Amino acid sequence: MDRKDKKGRKLRVGEYYDSKNDRYLFRKMINGKRYTITDEDLITLRKKAAALTIDIENNNIYTRDMEKMTLDEYFECWCENSGKSGRKATTYMNYQAYYNAHVKGTELGRMAIRSIRKTHCQKLFNDMMKKGYKKSTLNNMKGCLSVLFSEAEDDDIVMKNPCKNIRFIQAGKGEREAISEEQVETLINFLKGDEEFAEYYPFFVILFNLGTRIGEASAITWDCVDFSNSKITINKALNRYRKKEYGFTVAIGSTKSKNGIRTVKVNEIVIRALKEQRRLQLQKEGSVTIKIPRVDDYGRVISEIDNLVFTQANGQAWYEPAVISLIHRIVKKQNEQAEQKGTVKLQYFTPHQIRHTYTTMAFEAGVDEKEVAFRLGHASEITTREVYTHLRGQKKQEQDEIVNRIQIG
């Protein structure tokens, strides 16, 4: 390529003359991508180059490139640039998990983002409903896509958010089944008497008596335990992170919401269990204590914690998959013994069923709805009411029967 044309005119920066084809070229690099304009006339070429410069200044070039992106490509772009901005690290990771599980690689994910309409999004949710996903999962997926399309609106890629008025009212809420009183008693008695699993008795006492989320129970530190006043403060939670992005897999962060921070009065069984836990820890003094990162809402390490009340045998903090594994090991051994003795076997249960069992017992005991919401760390009793409507219905029926015993006349 020549820097002068056949008339001997010196060309500007970025301009070239192709003597072989008798054409002019203008080239410019934008964000690592080369753009080339060609024309037979130099004056016309310069007009095109000026228009390109205006597009660059107005960011239209980047927008046109993004318009060609598929939804999958735009999601990756969003993750790299603005996904973490202004939102909790746990929220960002949840968006990644939901998108990768339900959209990535699908027909919707492969579509050009500018071509996506409400009907395409509705089809995704209809398919998820057919597969049996519950309303909570659908709401989380909708939240992820709504944020993504809102960003695309800001980038002038789509005219409006196609997820805005999505409905899925026929989706089920899912049954939250409490663990029966007999099963709870069987579990507790097994833990008390089994040499291998007795050390986990205090952990399960806390879970059943406080109704905390697993992450909250796992993050309790000794400075949050007030033995003299029989109180425990829940003010943080253990979360899981992507090591390639944050440098660690588990860390202590804030609770799910501001309402998750609470100080609760506990019973004597809990205090005794905590004292036993303290004794077990001191007994193991000299064993490996692993420091857990303490992070802010954006996943930035601000300190380290090494005074957790509950840890695994290897010193690591408890997180949900590890607790699930522990439950399976406990149930397996108890079932083997029950088979030999001809006694009641434990049924497999999930960590969240423990929380549900606590809530069930609280309602059955007649605890005020507002107090139950406070102890669960819900934003308000409205959340508790929506989640545990069926329990309130059972309690209401019982109250109706009691009231109707008053018969006059």
For residues 54 and 88, membership in a common domain is answered with no
Structure tokens at 132: 């049996």
Q: Of the candidates 136, 154, 172, which is a domain's last residue?
A: 154
Distance CA 135, CA 229 (A): 41
Predicted local distance difference test score (pLDDT) of residue 64: 58
Under 8 Å between Cβ of 376 and 355: yes
Compute the distance between CA of residue 50 and CA of residue 48 in angstroms, rounded to an integer.
Answer: 5
Phi, psi of 155 (to 5 degrees): -85, 5
Examine residue 36 and state whether it is found in any structural domain, yes or no. yes
In this structure, the answer to whether residues 115 and 53 fall within a common structural domain is no
How is residue 302 annotated by DSSP? E
CA dihedral sign of residues 184, 190, 196, 198: positive
pTM of the full structure: 0.71
Domain assignment present for residue 69? The answer is no
Residue 66 lies in a domain: no
User: In this structure, are 99 and 22 located in the same domain?
Assistant: no
Q: Do 220 and 350 fall within a single domain?
A: yes
Within this chain, do residues 381 and 254 fall inside the same structural domain, yes or no?
A: yes
The pLDDT mean for the chain works out to 86
Q: What is the pLDDT of residues 323-358, one digit of tens each?
A: 999 999 999 999 999 999 999 999 999 998 999 899
CATH of the domain at 1: 3.30.160
Domain containing residue 26 = 1-58
- Assess whether 209 and 339 both reside in one domain: yes
303 and 392 assigned to the same domain: yes
Give yes or no: residues 265 and 120 share one domain.
Answer: no
- For the ranges 135-149, 177-191, 328-342, 381-395, the lowest mean pLDDT is seen at 381-395
In terms of domains, do 369 and 287 share one? yes
226-270: pLDDT as tens digits = 999 999 999 999 999 988 888 899 999 999 888 889 999 999 999
294 bridge partner residues: 252, 303
Give, in order, the Cα–Cα distances in Å from 202 to each of 50, 52, 269, 270: 73, 69, 9, 8
Q: Are residues 253 and 210 in the same domain?
A: yes
Q: Does any domain span residue 369?
A: yes
Q: What is the CATH number of the domain that holds 219?
A: 1.10.443.10
Asked whether residue 21 is domain-assigned, the answer is yes
Residues 190 and 333 in one domain: yes
Residue 343 C-beta-side C-alpha neighbours within 13 Å: 15
Q: How many domains does the chain have?
A: 3
For residue 405, is it within any domain? no
The CA angle 402-408-409, to the nearest 5 degrees, is 150
* Residue for token pair 């990771």: 93
Residue where a domain terminates, one of 105, 138, 154: 154
Query: Has residue 27 been placed in a domain?
Result: yes
Share of the chain above pLDDT 90, in %: 51
Residue 147, φ and ψ in degrees, nearest 5? -65, -40
Residue 404 in domain: no
28/104 same-domain check? no
